[in-house]
Structure 1
Amino acid sequence: MCVGGSNYKIIKAFLAALSFSYLSKTLSGTIMKSSITQIERRFDVTSSTVGFIDGSFEIGNLLVIAFVSYFGAKLHRPKVIAVGCFTMALGSLLTAMPHFFMGYITITPQDSRWVGAWWLGFLIGGVTNFLAAIPFCFLPKSLKKPEEANDKTSYGLLENTRNKLTPAQSKPRKWSVILKDFYTSLKKVLSNRMYFTFLCCSLLQFNSFIGFLTYKPKYMEQQYGQSTSKSNFLIGLTTLPPVSIGIFLGGLIMKKYKMGIIGATKFAFIMSFLAYVTTLLHFFVGCENHVVAGMTVSYEGKPIPYHENAIFSECNSGCKCASTVWDPVCGDNGLTYVSACLAGCTTSVGHGKNTVFHNCSCLAVSSSWTGNNSVTLGQCPKSEDCSMNFIYYTVIQVISGFCYALGGTPAYLIMFRCVQPELKSLAVGLYTLIMRVLAGIPAPVYFGALIDKTCLKWGSTSCGQQGACRLYDSNAYRYVYLGLSAVLRGPSYLIGIFFYILIKKSFQNKKSRPIVNGGREDVPINKEDNCKIKEHLPGSSDVENESCI
């Protein structure tokens, strides 16, 4: 009883530590995604460059994840996890270091170009991962086995087994043998048609998701005129609750209806496709371009083609303004100007964000404007219709996220049933590796490269080179960003149909024996019910029945 109680405490401690480590890892990844826009502005880099920075977050897993998945069971697993957490902590801290090495962007928090403390989140993530690693350093390699001193029969059997071991069997295996076994296991996993099809389907889905999530805060800022802080707050508020509830309900539905692998595949496919169809509604809830004088409209307020934009006009010809500056101001006439100088302003009152510029000659160019010729810092807000479309966008996000999460648990468990029990660990590790190599790293880069194509106004670095994009074509941005995500995700459902056919054919062939369990359509996905069926199936071998114990 003492040993059992001790094991129970160890299991509880391990689960608590593991949960906290997952939380810390997710926090680090979320901080990276939410800081994309701020990093882009702070260091004056393009979206494709900052996408590569985001993708490099996954590069550290390339050489270790598959081997850790295979050899992890043979090593001290808690300490392996601790090493991983320490590595994550070091990586988060290193990401924040450029802020301290490169010096402080000479503006103050009152300036409209202030990007905030982008580095602070990485410091928090580093400390959190460091704390998560500590408990694993004190956990044992394995649970204690109950003593059987009073059981002479078991003791004698154990001694006989030990005596039969030859010296060759008692020696540790050579690395050449281990690597050969690894190659054989890897070949078995990849030659599994169901697993490989599931891998291809997931790869397309992950490319779509990672690219979409990476630039989601940027999209909310450029499309709907939301601030960086508000965008990140709303993403957390509209993503975590529906996704958490969806994952919980998905597992609950599986348990209640005792879904087999065929039923789970069908359920996961329907929920994912429903979420996909819902996300297509995003195309219809976009906003118009920012009305910027000389870029999207003329100084008179009339729309102009993008290739004919010209930020200089007669109203600012005598001001000798710099064309590379992007410090937008909002005029009382509703037009945004690239800078106060290009608005033709001659005087100013106040400082920081409270600065107001007066006697701006370019406001008088608009024939329909008869009010004050004053401008304030920042772009003009978008229309009320855009604010309403942003609400619709948020609702669509909540619904699609919930639907996809609802089928997430069944989809993940399907992978375990596609491979042999002894290959499950390798299958999961290989799956994670491929998703990160072929989706986590390249997706942010090519998404960012295509988003850069929609830029209307580029900033300049202190060296005079091209910096970060300051203004995007909202319509082109929407179609590129949403369209690429939809195009990647769409074909995955064709592969999903093929995967369902393979699953159905494979598991129906195994059910050619008499149907049990009340005429159920397919065998339950949980091991306990599956074992109960095996006990009553004619022809089940002793080995199969013993494996259920």
Structure 2
Amino acid sequence: MDGSAKENIQLFSKSSVQSVGGSAFKTGHSSPKEKQPRCCAELKVFLGALSFVYFAKALGEGYLKSTITQIEKRFDISSSLVGLIDGSFEIGNLLVIIFVSYFGAKLHRPKAIGAGCVLMGAGTLLIALPHFIMEPYKYGKLSPSLNASPSVSACVLHAGGQPPAPALPTPQPQTPEGCSGEGSPSAWAYVFLGNLLRGLGETPIQPLGIAYLDDFSGEDDVAFYIGCVQGIAIIGPIFGFLLGSLCAKLYVDVGLVNAEHLAITPADPQWVGAWWLGYLVAGAVSLLAAVPFWCFPKSLPRPTGREDSSSSPEKSQFILDEPGSYQTPHGGKAKMVEMAKDFVPSLKSLLGNPVYVLYVCASTVQFNSLFGMVTYKPKYIEQQYGQTSSRANFVIGLINIPAVALGIFSGGMFMKKFRIGLCGAARLSLASSILGYLLFLSLFALGCEPSAVAGLTVSYRGTRPVTPGRGGLLADCNSRCQCSEAHWEPVCGADGVTYASACLAGCQASRVAGRSLILYNCSCVAASGSGPGNSSGMSGRCQKDNSCSQMFLYFLVISVVSSYTLSLGGIPGYIILLRSIKPQLKSFALGIYTLAVRVLAGIPAPVYFGVLIDSACLQWGVRSCGSRGSCRFYDSGLFRHIYLGLTVTLGSVAIFLSTAVLFVLKKNYISKPSHFTAKSERATASTRFRKERCTPTNHLFQSQYWPGKETEL
């Protein structure tokens, strides 16, 4: 997933809706009673608005993941650079997350969220801008002129021989402007900057939205409602991937080029879909989501049962050291100096909490695994199982992500139904991780045989080289042709072998049949032993065999089950995070947690996953200006071991750290009833808890205390 796991599998907001009516307001005054329905109604509206915001941001994030391969081919860049573009969202988040989470809790939180939505929508629209300033997409078999014939790299013989008619037309070389038009930094930099703006705009949504809901809602059903909201919010990636599947079927220059004159289909590796179209939709949705937040008040009356100071909303008590209302004294605004002077002590208090620190470390490592896995999952399906980009996005959106949503909802439901305590939550989170990654291990056995590509995975006589990529694209059968090894226009020969281009296959004649290009007199196809009269080929790569389609079905089943299993631990883990910290440090702690995930997982994971995936490339494209472009063909076996191996290795480290969380929680951080004085609270800098039995039958929010104050969570 922001599987999924940013699939997508990132944690969204929590919420609960609870009536505030009760005996606490039976005082004879009418005004509090009149405010109760209004408070409840406003909280419900805020809950709906926040859920829609999470849908909007998840829609954009899911669509970005679905267009990774399209962006890579359109801008002719490597996977590592695409990973950097994907990580720019986290970079934008990093720039302001500390300030937003710390100072934003004292400001008008709904309006801060609304401003973030506006910025997020503007950034999403900026991503689509390069399409409108770049030249139309060009490739070997497409002619921009509707009346022109398609052209491919021809086998032009040396002086010693004459090619039979009709000879294939030779494409004109691109001008140097083509280099600056499609692959220059000035083009993909807009995508980078737009995604960075998305990250800036998304920053206040999670820490401020979660804290606002938690402050003004009840506690008893919190885990259940977290599961409900996250289950609703994860509809965003579903629509994002389905939108990506739809746009991938449309040609990139839809509206400018007549689809009937295209010589390729979405199954062709050179096909680029209308990647830009979905960003216009996602940007408009984000702007629409900002509207309601300008109408909400800064704070709401707190519900019955949370009026005591022990469960006070997130206020500046740790800064001002003054109990009372959520507002600062006399209704004045807290000065930045007053808020900033205790920043370091507050940070030290969080870093002195072993449960919090270990949980942040475990989550960071696990999100490294999930971010890398989700980012390149469509690419993995395309390369490993020979599926189109449209179908890869479709199965992820329609099958994988709903399994994640169901897992998140189930985790919250289990927490509520069985009243699982903190240790029970830690056990459930750990068990889900162990089972999920064990299922993921089985995917190593579900790989397909590498595609037979002449000179890369097999020799020109059909035998497989000892080492993929060592054969070379030039051979005796095409030595008389003036071929360039840089051209990648796959041709499927009658022998079932894919050739890098018509020239490298030795093809000297062609005819158009519908939207396909039939090639004849291919000397390399004849040399492979396919027999006389069968030296033909067809534009496009050869399809995988039927056994690979069966493997793909097995992959989908195990992928869905593992996604559900891993998602079961999301809500229990989040409960550990929320209940291991002081309530007044809640927003700050969530900000630090989000910062750690962004900096140590969201930014580096797509980059180093992309770098290692690039190492599996067997054939690189070459831009017209001579620089290296995107990868044309991968060693699928090495790709599989890198992709799955990294995911499982990081998951194993996360399991080890999660075990440490459970151990520390059982040993030191579940407390027995005792009382401390206010004097001891002021004298103690670090958070400490009383010891208490850690059993699965304990109430969800077990009593935890800090020196000098008794606080029930």
Normalising by structure 1, we get a TM-score of 0.88
- Where has structure 1 moved over 6 Å in runs of 4 or more? 540-543
Query: d(CA) in 1 for partners of 2:533 and 2:546?
Result: 22
Alignment check: 8 A CA contact 2:406 2:564 kept: yes
SS in 1 for 2:342: helix
Alignment check: 8 A CA contact 1:523 1:530 kept: no
Query: d(CA) in 1 for partners of 2:39 and 2:343?
Result: 31
Give, in angstroms, the shift of residue 221 of structure 1. 0.7
1:494 to 642, 652, 656: 656
Could you tell me which residue of structure 2 aligns to residue 103 of structure 1? 135
Alignment check: 8 A CA contact 2:453 2:498 kept: yes
Name the amino acid aligned to 1:57: F
Name the amino acid aligned to 1:32: L
Name the amino acid aligned to 2:446: V
- Between stretches 26-35 and 305-314, larger displacement belongs to 305-314
Listed one character per residue, the Cα deviations across residues 4-24 of structure 1 (whole Å, up to 9, x for unaligned) are 222222122111111110000
Q: Tell me: CA distance 1:34–1:525, structure 2 relative to 1, closer, same or farther (3 Å).
A: farther
1:473 to 635, 660, 663: 635
Query: d(CA) in 1 for partners of 2:643 and 2:533?
Result: 39
SS in 2 for 1:200: helix
SS in 2 for 1:458: strand
The reply to whether residue 7 of structure 1 matches residue 39 of structure 2 is yes
The reply to whether residue 383 of structure 1 matches residue 545 of structure 2 is yes
The reply to whether residue 46 of structure 1 matches residue 78 of structure 2 is yes
Give, in angstroms, the shift of residue 359 of structure 1. 2.0
Alignment check: 8 A CA contact 1:271 1:403 kept: yes
Give, in angstroms, the shift of residue 542 of structure 1. 11
Alignment check: 8 A CA contact 2:422 2:700 kept: no
* Structure (1 or 2) with the greater helix fraction: 1
2:298 to 141, 166, 182: 141
Could you tell me which residue of structure 2 aligns to residue 442 of structure 1? 604
SS in 2 for 1:56: helix
The reply to whether residue 34 of structure 1 matches residue 66 of structure 2 is yes
Could you tell me which residue of structure 2 aligns to residue 151 of structure 1? none
Give, in angstroms, the shift of residue 492 of structure 1. 1.7
Listed one character per residue, the Cα deviations across residues 168-189 of structure 1 (whole Å, up to 9, x for unaligned) are 9646544222112222111111
Could you tell me which residue of structure 2 aligns to residue 312 of structure 1? 474
SS in 2 for 1:481: helix
Query: d(CA) in 2 for partners of 1:366 and 1:307?
Result: 18
Give, in angstroms, the shift of residue 144 of structure 1. 6.3
Alignment check: 8 A CA contact 2:371 2:601 kept: yes
5 Å-filtered alignment, 1:135-534, equals: 135-143=292-300, 170=330, 172-304=333-465, 305-350=467-512, 353-369=515-531, 372-510=534-672, 521=695, 524-527=698-701, 530=703
Q: Tell me: CA distance 1:420–1:211, structure 2 relative to 1, closer, same or farther (3 Å).
A: same
Give, in angstroms, the shift of residue 77 of structure 1. 1.2
Listed one character per residue, the Cα deviations across residues 346-375 of structure 1 (whole Å, up to 9, x for unaligned) are 221117842111222221112254562221
Query: d(CA) in 2 for partners of 1:414 and 1:344?
Result: 64
Give, in angstroms, the shift of residue 97 of structure 1. 1.0
Question: Considering only aligned residues, what root-mean-square deviation do their CA atoms show, in Å?
Answer: 2.6
Q: Tell me: CA distance 1:429–1:372, structure 2 relative to 1, closer, same or farther (3 Å).
A: same
- Between stretches 82-91 and 71-80, larger displacement belongs to 71-80
The reply to whether residue 81 of structure 1 matches residue 81 of structure 2 is no
Q: Tell me: CA distance 1:470–1:257, structure 2 relative to 1, closer, same or farther (3 Å).
A: same
Give, in angstroms, the shift of residue 58 of structure 1. 1.4
Q: Aligned residues, how many?
A: 515
Give, in angstroms, the shift of residue 405 of structure 1. 1.1
Give, in angstroms, the shift of residue 541 of structure 1. 12
Query: d(CA) in 2 for partners of 1:68 and 1:313?
Result: 62
Query: d(CA) in 2 for partners of 1:375 and 1:293?
Result: 13
Q: Tell me: CA distance 1:127–1:352, structure 2 relative to 1, closer, same or farther (3 Å).
A: farther
Normalising by structure 2, we get a TM-score of 0.69
Alignment check: 8 A CA contact 2:372 2:647 kept: yes
SS in 2 for 1:306: coil
The reply to whether residue 118 of structure 1 matches residue 275 of structure 2 is yes
Listed one character per residue, the Cα deviations across residues 137-177 of structure 1 (whole Å, up to 9, x for unaligned) are 2222223699xxxxxxxxxxxxxxxxx99xx9646544222
Q: Tell me: CA distance 1:499–1:43, structure 2 relative to 1, closer, same or farther (3 Å).
A: same
Query: d(CA) in 2 for partners of 1:507 and 1:457?
Result: 55
Give, in angstroms, the shift of residue 242 of structure 1. 1.2
Percent identity of the aligned residues? 48
- Between stretches 309-318 and 477-486, larger displacement belongs to 309-318
Name the amino acid aligned to 2:75: F
Give, in angstroms, the shift of residue 548 of structure 1. 5.8
Query: d(CA) in 1 for partners of 2:98 and 2:533?
Result: 67
Q: Tell me: CA distance 1:319–1:177, structure 2 relative to 1, closer, same or farther (3 Å).
A: same
The reply to whether residue 92 of structure 1 matches residue 124 of structure 2 is yes
Give, in angstroms, the shift of residue 72 of structure 1. 2.4
